[in-house]
Amino acid sequence: MSTKMELPFRLDSQLTEVMRLRVQSLQQRSQKRQEGERLLQPNEAVYRLDFSKQSLRFSHWSVRLGQPGRLTITATSQLWTPDLTNLMTRQLLEPAGVFWRALSDASNAPVQCYEADAAEFGERIAELAKVRKVMYFLFAFAEGCSPETVDCSIAFIVDT
């Protein structure tokens, strides 16, 4: 028997602020980032997924963009401990999920994505959920997209 479970991505405002302060601190001291360190860009925010179940199979993405724009979601590996260490580039997983809505798209048209990459990305998240209770993601907002206009979740099939 299996059931569906949809998990919303939640903004981690505290962690996003800590990462922004790191950028600000480096700028104020005229220092450079560490070798391989990934600094948060102004159009990015940190989101998290909390897994209540570990045995998951990817089902589908549910992404709604309230206006035309582009959303890129990049996962971090299980090795990153955001409260203790800086995010390193090698800890970012491939592929990223890229979702967009063009100006020419009707307001009720489905959000577009690179389907093969989005499916592989969802499957990798399901694999990591087997060993993780929480995963962190970088959301990059572009071309008119903003946190206020995005609603994003991921659905899994739970094997019971």
Instruction: In whole angstroms, give the CA distance from residue 91 to residue 102.
Output: 31
Kindly report which listed range (39-43, 108-112, 145-149) carries the lowest average pLDDT score: 108-112
- Whether the pLDDT of residue 51 is over 80: the answer is yes
Whether pLDDT at 79 is above 80: no
Whether 84 shows a pLDDT value over 80: the answer reads no
Angle, alpha carbons 100-78-22 (nearest 5°): 75
Contacts for 149 with CB less than 8 Å, ≥ 6 apart:
65, 66, 67, 69
CA distance readout (Å), 80 to 23, 37, 45, 132, 134: 18, 12, 16, 11, 11
Q: Where are the domains of the chain?
A: 2-159
* pLDDT grade for 103, boundaries at 50, 70 and 90: confident
Percent of the chain with pLDDT over 70: 99
Determine contact, residues 40/19, Cβ cutoff 8 Å: yes
**What is the pLDDT, as a whole number, of residue 85?**
80
Q: What is the pTM of this model?
A: 0.92
Radius of gyration of the chain (CA): 16
Q: What pLDDT was estimated at residue 86?
A: 85
d(CA 4, CA 7): 10
96 confidence band (pLDDT: 50, 70, 90): very high
Distances (CA, A) of 148 to 75, 155, 160: 20, 21, 35
What tokens were used for 140?
Answer: 């990059």
**CB burial string 86-118: b at 16+ within 10 A, e below:** ebbeebbbeebbbbbbeeeeeeeeebebeeeeb
What's the confidence (pLDDT) of residue 24? 93
Written as six digits, the tokens of 58 are 């990817």
Instruction: State mean pLDDT over 129-143.
Output: 94
**Each residue of 66-76: pLDDT tens digit?**
899 999 999 99
Which residues contact residue 152 at a Cβ distance below 8 angstroms, ignoring those fewer than 6 apart?
8, 9, 47, 61, 62, 63, 64, 71, 73, 99, 139
Residue 160 pLDDT greater than 80, yes or no: no
The yes/no answer on whether domain 2-159 falls in CATH 2.60.120.390 is: yes
